[in-house]
Every structure is written in C-alpha cells, then in structure tokens.
Structure 1
Amino acid sequence: MCRRPCSWSSTRCTYACPHCEGQVVTAGKPAQPIPKGLPGPGLLAHVITEKYADHIPLHRQERRLARQGVELSRSTLCDWMAGAAQSLEPLYDLMKTLVLLCGTIHTDDTSVKLRDSERKIKALARLWIYFGDHLYPYNVFDFTRSHKRDGPSLFLKGFRGYLQADAFSGYDGIYAGGNVVEVGCNAHARRKFVEAQKTDLTRASTALAYYRQLYAIEKQIKAELAKLPEDANEPTRAAIRLRVRQERAVPVWESLEKWLKEERPQVLPKSPMGGAIGYMKNHWEALKRYTSSGYLSIDNNVAEQHMKTIATGRKNWLFTGSETGGKTMAVLFSVVSSCQRHGHDPFVYLRDVLSRLPVLPKENLADLLPDRWSPPQAADPAATPEGPIADGSPS
C-alpha cells in the first residue's frame, strides 16, 4: 500500500495513500505503564520525582499544574501513584530478594502519620529502610502499621548475615536465631555521652576523646583506600579496613573498656552518664564488632541519613491516607532512593523504566536494576518515530 506520514504525535503515527486519500492507518497505541491509563511514562516520572525526590506533595503539584493550564485533581494523581507503584512492584520485589542475599544490611525506621478515612482516626505507622551492601546496593523501604517487631521479622525472614541497627528491642528475636549477627551503632553510643556533658562534663569529655580516636582511625582508612586504583575490588578494601582496625582501633577499645569499668561504680545508674556507660556495657560486643570485619561500618549513619530524607518529605506531605498509600510510598521511595544512590537522575531513570516495563520479558527484569541500568541513548534527530524519511515522498 502506498503511504506517507500524514500526522503523528510522539507515540502514534497516522498514514494514508497520497493518491486516493484513503486506506488511512493509525499505529497502535504503545503499552502504557498503567493498563488503560492516560498518563505516559514521562508524566508519571515527573510526578513521582517531584514528590519522592523533591518532596513536593500532590496538592501542591495540583496547583502547579493548574497554573500551566493542566487540570488534574489530587485524587487522579493519587490513583496514578498507586498504579505506578503496581507497575514497579516486580522491580521492587526483585530488589528486596537481592538485598536479603547481602552479607550486611543496615536498617532504621521513622514514624509516618497514617489516616484511616473510615474510622476518622490517625495512627503512627512506620517506614523502615533496608540498605544493601556492595553485593546488592539497593535501598528497600517497607511500610508497617506499627513499630512492633513483626515488621522486621517478616521482612528479614531467611536473611543470614550481619544486621547493623540501633538497640531497638524488636530486633532481639531476630538475633536470637543465630543466623543474624548484631552490629551496633557507635553514633548512638557517642550521642549519649554528648547529652551527658550537661551534667558530667569531665567524664563525658573523656569518653568523647576515645570516640574521636576511633573515628580518626576510620578517616585514616578512607584516606588509605583513596590511594588504591579505581578498579580495586571490595575484598581488597575490606582486608585493609580489617588490618588497620586490628592494629589501631582494638587497642583504643581495650583502653575504653578499662575506663568504663573504673567509672561505672562512681556514677548513678539513672544519671545521663550512668545511662551512657550502661548502654555501652550492655551492647559492648555489638558496638565493637565492626573491628572484626572489614565489611562492617563503625555506625549506622548511612541508614539514618535516608531517614532524614523521609523526615524532610514528611514535613510537606504530612501523612499517608491509607495503608495502601503507605505501601505505594515504600515502593516508590525504594526505586527513587536506589537510583539516586547510583547517581542517576530519577526522572530519566523512571521515564525509561516505566516505558520498558510493560513489554519487558520477566527474564530481563534485572536489566532495569539501578546498578545495571544505562541511560537510553539519544535518538537520531534525522529519524522519525518510524524511521528516517529522506524527503517525505511515498514509499
């Protein structure tokens, strides 16, 4: 059939015979991220990036779009976010599966207000992060209705390795099985001595001096690792960390332990200083465990920093409207945070992933993981959506 391009949008082309002006053919509509939905990958990526990377809630986006002549209700945007999360859920599930294969996971949590529209009440739900190590470097979030231990226990089911977290008692059952090894957070322990300065400056200053030595050693390790070739693998780096910690950090811990034993009987157990010393003694093995492996960190700050990102967004969007909304939040935060971890522009990443997911074979899903994904190459400006056209003449 003789045809030439008559008109087209960015995704669909219409062709007709130039002689009889008949035989009009319109290309089929590409698969959409949301089945039978109106938004394309670019619009969805824009809304997701604005909320989960730039912390702009949907009601503000609604007003911004209206000023540009685009009338979209907040309820429509909410439905789109739920639909986008459903499309991205296979990728989320894959990241979760892989994170559980890591040797070390950092975790932390923060509160999120949950509004129950049926009972007209608000409750404090939780958003948890599970930060994968160098083997599977993904940030996976999980939403739970409460702060009970059931959330981490269910998420970490089957995990074997090191779990670095604060001293939340909900993790105790996970450690009890023997498959998960506790790693403490020295930032938490140090913070208690900072708070104790108000009532016991002398002892607090001594404890903080020990911590300055320990963190200075970690800084020296980073400087030594910076001298390695860029292609140095993680086992090589871990071996250096372990060697330096054994040589320099372990003696500091031995001196600190001796000092704690001497000072503990001289302070009131319920005083700020007594609480700080008691915290260290109760979690001593977990706090110094990082010195026995080059793959561990001195603290859990990497997870806490991502909780600060959630806190920044929470000041803007205030609450989640339902448990389903909380799960949507967990999926979209996971994808956005993971791609940012690898230096990708969330909008570019999401636009490409959402356009490919509907037609991507399941066996190729791993190609979209943030650490394996590559930005799409720029299209040839001399080509149309259907291919290069030299002069527009009929074929």
Structure 2
Amino acid sequence: MKYLKIYNGTVLTPQRTISGGCVIIADGIIAEVSDKNIAIPGATEIDARGKYIAPGFIDMHVHGGGGHDFMDNTIEAFLQIAITHARYGTTAMMPTTLSCDKQDLLDTLAIYEQAHKLNDKGAAFAGLHIEGPYFSMQQKGAQDPRYIRHPDPAEYVDILSRSPAIKRWSAAPELPGALEFGRYLTNRNILAALAHTDAIYEEVIKGYEAGFTHATHFYSCMSGVSRRNAYRYAGVIESAYLIDGMTVEIIADGIHLPAPLLKLVYKIKGPERTALITDAMRAAAMPEGPSVLGSLKDGLNVLVEDGVAKLPDRSAFAGSVATADRLVRNMIELAEIPLRDAVRMMSETPASILHIQDRKGTVVKGKDADLVIFDDGINIDTTIVNGNIVYMSKESFSGYLI
C-alpha cells in the first residue's frame, strides 16, 4: 500500500482538536487519526510543525480562476482552474456555469466529462452546478439577459439525460414551471437551489416544498422586504431565515457581504446551515485590472479592483475573485467566529448539503484523504486530494517532506 503520514500537527476532527496529532493515509483513504506519532515504515512523512491539519475545503460554487472560466469550454480551462484553487486549500469544487444557450451548456457537459478523467493535479470535481438560465429578469445581476428564460421541460429533461454529472441546478422558484422543475430535479437526487429570484415568502415556501432547499449566494440577487400596493411582503432573504431547514451559501469575501451581515448569517443560520463559497470568476488569483466574466467568446467585460469584479461603470459587482483561504480568514477576522466553525463552513457543511458527507468534509477514519495544512493566518502550506499532494508551499517542500 502507498502510505502518507502527517504528524506533529493540530488536527481538527468533528469531535475534538488534537494537539500533536497524526493522520495516516493509505491508498487515498484516511486510515488512522491519532494523538500519537504512529510509526509506518516506508511511509512518506510530512512534519506539520504544529500547524493545523484540517479537512480540505469544498467550494460548491465556482466559475473560474487563474485566468480561465469553465465556460471557456476547454479541457485546459477546467484543469487549470482546479490547479489554481488547490493552491488555496480547495480539495473539491463544483464547476459552475452561467446563463447561456443550450448548445453552450451541452458543450460544457462534454468537456466536464473529459476533464474529470484527467484531473489529477488539482481540486477534484464534485459534479456540475448549472446556474441559470431560469431566472427572474429583475434579479439577473451580471447574468446575460439574452439567455434568461422560463423553465422548459423539453429543454431541461433533454439536458439532464445527456450526463449524470449535473449535481445541482439554481433557478428562480416563482417562475412559471419552476415548481415542476424543482420536483423533477429532486426526484433525480439533484440539488435544487433558488437563485436570482424576486420571490416573496409565499412563493419561497412553495418552492421549498418542491425541493428548492438551498439559497445560492445568499443576499446577492434576491429579494428582501418589498412593498406592493401599500402592503409589505417578506422576500427570499427573510424566508431563508424563517425556514429552519433551508441551507444558504455566502460569498464571504468581505465585500459582497460586509462584516455585520456575515455575523447575522452566522447568528441565525449557524455553521451547520451555512456554506462558504468563492463564486470566483476567471480573475481569482490574478492581478487586478480588466477581465471577462463568462466565456472569452461572448462574456461580459468587467474591471477587477478593490478585491472584487465590477461592471465597467462601477455601478455593481460583477463577480468574486475570492479563494477559499480568504473566506475562512474573513469569517474568523471579520465575523469573529471560532476557527473550527469557519473551517466547518468550508468543508463539513458543503459536504452535507451536497450529500457527500459519507466520504468527504471531515478528518475521520475511512473517508477520502482530502486534507489541507495551514497556519494561524490560514496561509496554505499543503493541499492533499485523495491522498495525493497537489500543492506544497516552498517552505513545506524544503522543510516538511521527508
């Protein structure tokens, strides 16, 4: 068997924090988690030097990074995005599309299938997230209005028949045909998420009952309290707080949601119902300046400055350039929550929402060896995917690997 031993680290397990802990990996699976330095002859060893050994970060909503977007529809783009985000602690990611025409989406499905087989040097792919095109035009955000439309069974049934890779689809539950769409997704064990929606509480409840149990990039492109003919109505934001079973995801870059809202989400929904997402576009891990949201072929020109992508006239945000380490760091520093909870929101909680918690999301014997080593500042030293080291900092490579 191929053994990898990580020792002398602070191991974050679901039950406790183990100082001076040791994790043994055998053929890609966590074989042992211990408070003792277990001798494994012939094993590759990493001395964590007291740093944290945590479950790998799971990004359930990401569009790109490193100068690439999944909608570029090239194998190179898929693989380079996976490599880029692994440098920041992501061990599993859900490639995400934007509203587009049907053929573009089918092309993305085909490329995903090919790239998935070749992806062994970056974060693993956890299935496709289709974001759009079934959205409210009033809440389109940076989505291209040319492609926004109502759910069409002839379209989505055909798309879903083409590939089992689709694991999540985000849509507005108030649209004509959306409830039937939500039920269809749920019957196929695909996560139905509400997004880019102008729904009121009564519509969200019906959507929740039809399977829309998760809120995509919470607060962004969704309704809050509104007034119609003198009467006030609760929007999607209030509905997600009121429905205990609804999970949410937040772009914790400190810009899309400032510190008070990060604190509010944590206070009401808690770490067990809140996932952190990058929602990163191609400019993540790239210098600031002009960029493109979506595909290079017909994407939207944007400007990256102040740590976020903006429309060229600076009238609105046009995408995130966050990486997973930044999200965890912000929750600790801006939201002032415990490190354990911040890590949970980037690992265990998304694994639970995606129903892959039986094999990912925690440092537990028998689960996939997806691990990340980082210091108190959440600076990533080592990223391990299925037992393979896919990233090591220069310091790690020169001093930790024996």
The TM-score normalised by the length of structure 2 is 0.26
- Structure with larger Rg: 1
Greater length-normalized contact order (CA 8 Å, ≥ 6 residues apart): 1
* Larger strand percent: 2
The TM-score normalised by the length of structure 1 is 0.26
